[in-house]
Amino acid sequence: MLFKKEMQVDGDTDVYELHPNIKAYALKDVGFQVSNAGNYTLERSVDPTSPYNKNQMLKVVVSKDLTGFKMSTTNASGNARVNIFKGSHAEGNVEQYHFIIQNLLDREILQKKA
């Protein structure tokens, strides 16, 4: 998947884009890791009972030049996209997803597209 200016997670009604004030140190502060290619990667569990249960995850990758990003919810191995807004655990998973996203919004990493 190519880096894009705006992204929407499967099942979510909100569209997100990178905040114009995004800074590399803010990415590192919230837990992004720098990959071998220089991109910033964040993987967080959306399981509300434990951050260590990686059944379903939010994965965000920001390009090294901070101009584009990728965002998706995936299974534990990260190789299949998952719609966390459906299923028996949707309510808790969506609540945790919104908590993670709100942190990224508060830190001026992402913003909702108007």
Q: What CATH code is carried by the domain that includes residue 65?
A: 3.30.1820.10
Residue 61 maps to a domain: yes
Residue 95 banded pLDDT, cuts 50, 70, 90: very high
Q: Are residues 15 and 42 in contact, defined by beta-carbon separation less than 8 angstroms? A: no
Residue 102 maps to a domain: yes
The contacts found for 77-82 with CB under 8 angstroms, 24 or more apart, are: 78/43, 81/10, 82/10, 82/56
**pLDDT at site 3:** 94
pLDDT of 113 over the 70 cut: yes
d(Cα 54, Cα 43) in Å, to the nearest integer?
A: 9
Least confident of 30-34, 52-56, 77-81: 52-56
Residue 16 maps to a domain: yes
Residue 1 maps to a domain: no
Core vs surface per residue 35-49: b (16+ CB within 10 A) or e: eeeebbbbebbbbbe
Host domain of residue 10? 6-112
Report the predicted TM-score, pTM, of the whole model to 2 decimal places: 0.91
Give how many domains the chain has, as a whole number: 1
Residue 19 maps to a domain: yes
Residue 11 maps to a domain: yes
Distance set, CA 99 to CA 34, 36, 90 (Å)? 23, 28, 14
